[in-house]
Amino acid sequence: MQTIIQGKVFKFGDNINSDVIIPGRYLIYIDPEHLSQHAFEVLGDDFPIKLRNYQILVAGRNFGCGSAREQASTAIRGLGINAVVATSFSRTFYRNAINDGLPIIECPDLHTAVEEGDDLRIDLDQALIFHRDQHYSFPRLPDSVRGILEMGGLAAYLKTQLSA
Amino acid sequence: MGMTIAQKILSAKAGLSTVGAGEIVEAYPDLVMSHTATWRSVSVMNKIGATRLFDSERLAIVLDHISPAKSEKNAADQQVSRAFARKYGIRKFFDIDAGIAHLVLMEAGHVAPGNLIVGTDSHCTIYGSLGALGTGIGYTEVASVWLTGKLWMKVPETFQIVLSGEFQPGVFSKDLMLHLIGTLGADGCNYKSVEFCGNSVGGLSISERMTMTNLAMEMGVKCAFFPPDAKTLEYLKDRLEDTSRYHPVYADTDAVYEKRLEVDLARLEPMIACPHEVQNTKPIGQIVGKRVDQLFLGSCANAKYEDLQIAAQILKGRHIHPSVRLIITPGSKNILMEAADSGVFKTLLEAGGLFTNPGCGACAGDGGTLTDGEVCLSTANRNFVGRMGSSKAEIYLCSPATLAASAIQGVVSDPREFFQVS
């Protein structure tokens, strides 16, 4: 897993729900390519294309709330997003992102500081986010859980466990 | 130190004598549920080349979200689920005719107090109505539980919601939950366990408790509970395959709660959740008169027999307004059967209701699709934008009583006028 993630920020507000991220009618897909073509499309037809210009999502409270659909994380990954930083996450999205191999970071102070298009550098090893001339620390994932993310998600993790 | 219900269940399933909130444990669920998403978990198993299940008796599969199949892809996915169930001898397999997974599994006696149940659906929280810890996970994690029997879980803090008083006529548990969600917010109970307690809980029916633990998800809960009592035992006694599975779990008297909220049920009024968030609630008085096009009586929140019965009570001898459509999707085949036997089905049909087969139906966008500008009043638990079709349509949420009253008038209406004491 990449431990340094950098790129441009797209900013969202609070309570971005599962149905906004990927509508139910697309849950017949599980691959990132198909899903990303419809990610956030309820916000505007241009969203799935526009978001490909960004590498990091920064959101407010309760990102991913609603359904337990794992494809919410897969759709975001399919857009080329390499990390989601939020003030807080819904528990289902948080869990699914780890299992899907998408780094998620809780950092309440970042949301007010960033603007769309800003450059961000995330160091997962140091547990620090660098923005302009500031840096923000964030809580590390518990060891038991970090291993899953570092292996690229639960399926990959499970494969090594079962063949051991 | 005393433990809450969540702490007790998680410690038991992790083989520990005690756990504290915030601790991460490795827990073994009693049941892992998957619905129409089952094919996705099967694909994970195939991708990693695994073939042995931890314990086939712990799996339950219910095909409820797109039933019957609407496309060749749906049909192929359902065949994958059927083949999987056959291959592994999954006894708790329910095909497209059974109804909504949560209701079907509780009816069939597969949910017992003290159980830990995970599944591919956020509304697994509903199992707390019978004193089980239910919580949603993704399809990859379901496959992982199939294979290993376990998953990591963080022990939640618990909020106590203390209920006193009685609902006024025309006010129901859905209104209580909309009030709570509107007050606390979509993340008001994020990651928490919620325990409903107080003088009023004993008087709430199992159906009302199901509505409440179901809607609790919309405040972000990890799980929600009603402590088991005589009503729970009554519901379960003819359903549990094995009554020795009845192991109710209660919080210790010295359990530690993070927050305590008190609600007087008598002060509540009918509520509506407005577009496009469940937390966007208003008292009915602020919405009455709003034109509606379609009404949906359905979903795991409010399509139980008691919900249909309340709607029938209001609609008996009356007809829905000519300008609206009323779609009724009973929560399960058993519920439909009971409605057919009791006359509730006929009453609703005669009133102009359009029945669809038991299942998730329009709640999850399967049937009853809306076009731009349409307004749907629904007894479901979510009104997110685009959920029922057009992102330029509007979904309002309410109780079955409010729905029935509104169906008659053709606009959002206060159900209390149908409950006046004469």
Q: Are residues B87 and B132 in the same domain?
A: yes
Partners of residue A30 in chain B, C-beta under 8 Å: 40, 43, 139
Predicted ipTM?
0.97
Residue A164: the pLDDT is: 65
Q: Are residues B305 and B191 in the same domain?
A: no
The pLDDT tens digits for A40-62 are 999 999 999 999 999 999 999 99
Nearest to A158 among B147, B186, B191 (CB): B147
Whether B269 is in a domain gets the answer no
Q: Are residues B204 and B280 in the same domain?
A: no
Q: Are residues B278 and B233 in the same domain?
A: no
What's the CATH number where B228 sits? Answer: 3.30.499.10
Q: List all residues 6 or more positions away from B44 whose beta carbon is below 8 Å from its beta carbon.
A: A155, B139, B140, B143, B144
Q: At which of B210, B228, B263 does a domain end?
A: B263
Q: Which helix (H) or strand (E) holds B143?
A: helix B139-148
Nearest to B138 among A61, A95, A144 (CB): A95
Q: Which residue of A has its CA nearest to B384?
A: A19
Whether A99 and B186 lie within 8 Å, measured CB to CB = no
Residue B215: the pLDDT is: 98
Query: What is chain B's percent helix, strand, coil content, to nearest 5?
Result: 40, 20, 40
Residue B422: the pLDDT is: 60
Architecture of domain A4-163 in this structure = Alpha-Beta Barrel (3.20)
Reported as half-sphere exposure (CB side, CA atoms, 13 A), residue B399 has a value of 32
Q: At which of B233, B263, B293 does a domain end?
A: B263
Whether A30 and B136 lie within 8 Å, measured CB to CB = no
Q: What is the pTM of this model?
A: 0.97
The structural domain count of chain B equals 2
CB contact A62 to B (< 8 Å): yes
What gap in Å lies between CA B79 and CA B60, rounded to an integer? 16
Q: Are residues B117 and B159 in the same domain?
A: yes
- SS3 state at B62: strand
Instruction: Residue B389: give the domain boundaries.
Output: 274-419
What gap in Å lies between CA B347 and CA B352, rounded to an integer? 9
Q: Are residues B258 and B350 in the same domain?
A: no
Q: Tell which B residues from 261 to 280 touch A, by Cβ distance under 8 Å.
A: 277, 279
Partners of residue B143 in chain A, C-beta under 8 Å: 155, 158
With beta carbons less than 8 A apart as the criterion, state whether B397 and B218 touch: no
Whether B190 and A90 lie within 8 Å, measured CB to CB = yes
Q: Are residues B67 and B204 in the same domain?
A: yes
Whether B304 is in a domain gets the answer yes
Partners of residue A17 in chain B, C-beta under 8 Å: 277, 384
Whether A162 and B40 lie within 8 Å, measured CB to CB = no
What gap in Å lies between CA A66 and CA A128, rounded to an integer? 29
Q: Are residues B259 and B278 in the same domain?
A: no
Q: List all residues 6 or more positions away from B117 whose beta carbon is below 8 Å from its beta carbon.
A: B29, B30, B31, B32, B33, B111, B124, B127, B132, B133, B134, B135
Q: Which residue of A has its CA nearest to B381?
A: A66
Q: Are residues B258 and B294 in the same domain?
A: no
The pLDDT tens digits for A110-146 are 999 999 999 999 999 999 999 999 999 999 998 888 9
Whether B95 is in a domain gets the answer yes
Whether B413 is in a domain gets the answer yes
Best of B72, B384, B388 to disrupt the A interface (most A CBs within 10 Å) is: B384
Q: Are residues B377 and B238 in the same domain?
A: no
Whether B384 and A70 lie within 8 Å, measured CB to CB = no
Q: Cα B376–B301–B417 angle (5° rounding)?
A: 65
Average pLDDT over residues A18-22: 97
Q: Tell which A residues from 4 to 33 touch B, by Cβ distance under 8 Å.
A: 15, 17-20, 23-25, 27-28, 30
CB contact B109 to A (< 8 Å): no
Q: Are residues B294 and B256 in the same domain?
A: no
The pLDDT tens digits for B21-79 are 999 999 999 999 999 999 999 999 999 999 999 999 999 999 999 999 999 999 999 99
Name which of B134, B155, B154 is nearest B29 in CA terms: B134
Whether B247 is in a domain gets the answer no
Which residues of chain B have a pLDDT value below 50? Answer: none
Q: Are residues B130 and B102 in the same domain?
A: yes
